[in-house]
Amino acid sequence: MTDLATGGVTLYSTVRSSIGHGQTSHLRTLLELAGWVEEAGYRGGLVYSDNTSMDVWLAAQAAIANTDSFVPLVAVQPWDKTPFSVARAVSSLAHLYGRRVDINFVSGGFIRDLTVQGDTLAHDARYDRLTEYATAIRTLLGGGMANLDGDYYTLRRARLTTAVPEELLPTAYVSGSSPASLRAGEALGLGQLSFPVLPEVFAGPGVRKNKFGSGISIGIIARDDSAEAWRIAHKRFPADPEGAARMKLLLSAGGSSWQPQLASVPIPDEAEGQPYWLVPFRYHHTFCPYLVGSHDEVARAVATYLSGGIRTFVLDIPREPDDLWHARIAVERAVAALPR
């Protein structure tokens, strides 16, 4: 198994934390997915947050307590916990388990969730708030005393009693693809996580990149044989008219820049020779595009993203352990082709 870190590439998967998927045991499902991710040699997995999910910090703790090296990439939203509460949670996990978490700073969420929480800030203002929020958290995690008199947060001599050891400090990202999210990421000195457009478009000169690095959330279905990969893809993600109607309704609600951006990508549902596939997104099966094909076909698409500066990949929720292994093979081949 190739050490992807030598190529500066980080692989996460996603672990399900939502309620209502028919599992008889949410804990068993969470730990099974975390185990697959760890066995495949990924850094860890995204534990996402919305109003239908389990508490992300409890899910992260359960995963840490039952794995050896899995790093939860915790989605952190300003309306969920105060800056001090987040910093204390990171510190607590570091000192209880000697383990780290990574952080994905998210500005808000689905419109329905923001409405329930009474969050009425406009899109760009949510990123202004996120910048203050992340600044306070990172000051606290670094062992400093946080004094902040901002537009959204006020802290007076706030400090963690137990600082986080330097080797356990989180790697952090800002989620989003809008100009406001890019400004927030660069103001914080953090890389960006977004949902990608076509590989050749993303790697082109017209796409503004975060100077501190970029990552993408994407699904991968790769197999030895391209036809087998597409057979699996079509079985898992059929073109469902009811799903298309749900996605249309979601797009009409607005609130995010990445959803209409993906919806406007000008490719048909089936484009021969094109591994970038939007059917899972267009028909509301999931929220990211997919790369589908043989290991070499997917590797070429991944290599194009690498040429555009992508170094972090957050893969969609796997259906089986083989999904992670085959995706890793494709990514390894793309990394091996990087200029030395």
Q: What is the pLDDT of residues 267-307, one digit of tens each?
A: 888 888 899 999 999 888 888 999 999 999 999 999 999 99
pLDDT band at 80 (very low <50, low <70, confident <90, very high): confident
Asked whether residue 255 carries a pLDDT value surpassing 60, the answer given is: no
- Average pLDDT value for the chain: 89
Look at residue 208 in the predicted model and tell me its pLDDT.
80
The confidence band for 148, taking pLDDT boundaries of 50, 70 and 90, is confident
The predicted structure's pLDDT at residue 114: 65
Of residues 202 and 3, which shows the higher confidence score? 202
In this structure, are strands 214-223 and 191-194 parallel, antiparallel, or unpaired? parallel
User: Structure tokens of 29?
Assistant: 């499902």
What is the average pLDDT across 218-230? 97
Q: Residue 325 has what pLDDT?
A: 97
More confident residue, 340 or 168: 168
Can you give the pTM of this predicted structure?
0.92
The pLDDT, as a whole number, for residue 18 is 62
Which tops the pLDDT comparison, 171 or 271?
171
Q: Span 45-65, mean pLDDT?
A: 85
